[in-house]
Amino acid sequence: MADNRGGRRRERRRDEEREELDERVVDIRRVAKVIKGGRRFAFRTVVVVGDGKGRIGIGVGKARAVPDSIRKANEKARANIKRVSLADTTIPYTVTGEHGGARVMLKPAAPGTGVIAGGGVRAVLEVAGVRNILSKN
């Protein structure tokens, strides 16, 4: 007998999940690899996806053309989805994160405050479903 567990039903669920995720391109950069004949240019793209209910994924894609790098980053972001705890429309407590020389602080805010954040932090918070938050870079 053929084992048919998770066939079409699982594929359909993935298709539905793919449609409901909001996608944002955070950053597109041109990068160069130095080779014998000079430089070979490519594009590195950072994409964040989320459902607006506390699930987000971040992906980085690199390719010779921008659309290909966006597609690759999108695939990686969808494969890398994590859950973020939310307290209504904000986060439950103050969080500080560091990576290299960068430091980001996120503070919960009262309803009606809005998203007070810049650049990439704003994109990540909005696709995660956070509506009221204060941030400092």
Q: Is 86 left (phi over 0), alpha (psi -120 to 50) or beta?
A: beta
Q: How many CB atoms lie within 10 A of CB 137?
A: 11
Class of domain 95-136: alpha beta
pLDDT tens column, 54-112: 999 999 999 999 999 999 999 999 999 999 999 888 999 999 999 999 999 999 999 99
Domain boundaries, the chain: 8-83, 95-136
Six-digit token string for 113: 């405050």
Task: Identify the residue with better confidence: 16 or 109.
Answer: 109
Class of domain 8-83: alpha beta
